[in-house]
Amino acid sequence: QKEVEQNSGPLSVPEGAIASLNCTYSDRGSQSFFWYRQYSGKSPELIMSIYSNGDKEDGRFTAQLNKASQYVSLLIRDSQPSDSATYLCAVNGYAGKSTFGDGTTLTVKP
C-alpha cells in the first residue's frame, strides 16, 4: 500500500464546474497536509496547507481534512482552463520530508 494515494485520473471537467480531487494516507500520526499544483514542465507550487479537521477555503480552492478517515480532498470551484495541471497531495513535512502522491492530472475544458 502506498503511503499517499490519489485518484489516478486523469480528471476532466467543463469550465465553471467543480473539480474534486481526493487523497488518502496511511500514517495515522500525520499532522500536516498539503496540495501542490504542477503545470507541465514546471515545478510544484504550494496552493493549500491544512492541519486541522474540517474545511479551509482560499478563493476558489477548498481543502477538506478528515483525520479519522485519513482523507484529504481539494475542491476547485468555478474551474478555469488555467487550472489544468497535475495536483499533488503531500503529507507531513517534518525536516523537509513530505511524502507525495503520484498526482491527479486535471483538464478543464472551455
Residues that bind another protein (CB under 8 A): 32, 34, 36, 42-46, 49, 51, 88, 90, 92-103
**Closest approach of Cβ 31 to another protein, in Å?**
8
Radius of gyration of the chain (CA): 13
Termini Cα distance of the chain: 36
Q: Rounded to the nearest whole angstrom, what is the least distance from the CB of residue 32 to another protein in the complex? A: 4
Phi-psi region of 48 (alpha: psi -120 to 50; beta: other; left: phi over 0): beta
CB 25, CB 91: distance < 8 Å: yes
Residue 57 Cβ, how far from another protein at the closest point, in Å?
18
Q: By C-beta, is 97 or 110 nearer to another protein?
A: 97
Nearer to another protein, 64 or 104 (CB): 104
- Contact indicator for 93, 104 with CB cutoff of 8 Å: no
Looking at the Cβ atoms of 22 and 102, the one nearer to another protein is 102
